[in-house]
Structure 1
Amino acid sequence: MSSELKSWSDSRQYCRDHGADLIIINTEEKQRHISSFIKENVWIGLSDRKQEGIMKWVDKSPLNRGFWARGEPNNYQGRNEDCIELMPSDLILNNWNDRSCSEKKNGICEK
């Protein structure tokens, strides 16, 4: 995990600088594992930055299963919420939220 609060892009660059990338969570098992130890909202490797409404992982693979919080993703009030955070305060299988990519959070990296 990054040790400094960064935008989504800067968090991704931090991961890349360390031979990794932002985490891809594509199974319930991985979602449960990550959610079990995260204590604050963090960036994951999912966004719809390239095309609104089309979620892609950092490896360009499509989103097959999401673990969205109720009503998400919603691009709240048209605020360009294109990057995805995991919110550990929500239910384990419903804790993803779309946020503005410029917000500062820690990111979770994986090799």
Structure 2
Amino acid sequence: MTWEDAKAACESFSWKLAEIRSQAQQDAVKAILPAGNNHYWIGVKDVVGDNKNYEYATGGSVIYTDWSSNEPNNYKGTAEDCVELRGYEGYEWNDVKCSAKKLSICEF
């Protein structure tokens, strides 16, 4: 699903895209995800498009991050405004185009 579709899917269950707010939450999420090359949307998005103004899907500035090295980067000038957990890098954060198709993690 795209990021917006994933957000809507979570909300259809009265849940939300996972909003990781601490190292403890990051560790808990990583512990339940399978090893491998999977990519999962989380509830974080750059609302301005400048790699600096990240907010949670439910609103409010992001207070914790776990970016992969050299991220966020808008790779090759591409608008990468949504955030995924990237499996092959230990589920660290990566910015990616919101239109990309990914799995998602909902929380309730």
Q: What's the TM-score, normalizing by structure 2?
A: 0.89
- 1:33-72 aligned at under 5 Å gives the runs 33-39=28-34, 40-48=38-46, 50-52=47-49, 53-72=52-71
Which of the numbers 90, 93, 96 marks the counterpart of 2:93? 96
Q: Which amino acid aligns with 2:42?
A: I
Q: Which ranges in structure 2 are unaligned for 5 or more consecutive residues?
A: none
Identify the residue that residue 74 of structure 2 maps to in structure 1: 75
SS where residue 88 of structure 2 aligns? coil
SS where residue 86 of structure 1 aligns? strand
Identify the residue that residue 16 of structure 1 maps to in structure 2: 11
Which consecutive aligned stretches of 4+ in structure 1 deviate over 6 angstroms post-superposition? Answer: none
The question of whether the paired residues in 2 share the 8 Å contact of 1:83 and 1:100 is answered with yes
The Cα of 1:91 is off from its aligned counterpart by: 3.7
State the Cα deviation string for residues 3-48 of structure 1 (Å, max 9, x = none). Answer: xxx0000000000111111010001111001112223210000010
1:26 aligns with 2:25: no
The Cα of 1:72 is off from its aligned counterpart by: 0.3
Q: CA RMSD in A?
A: 1.2
Q: Which ranges in structure 1 are unaligned for 5 or more consecutive residues?
A: 1-5
Q: Which has the higher strand share?
A: 2
Identify the residue that residue 110 of structure 1 maps to in structure 2: 107
Q: What's the TM-score, normalizing by structure 1?
A: 0.87
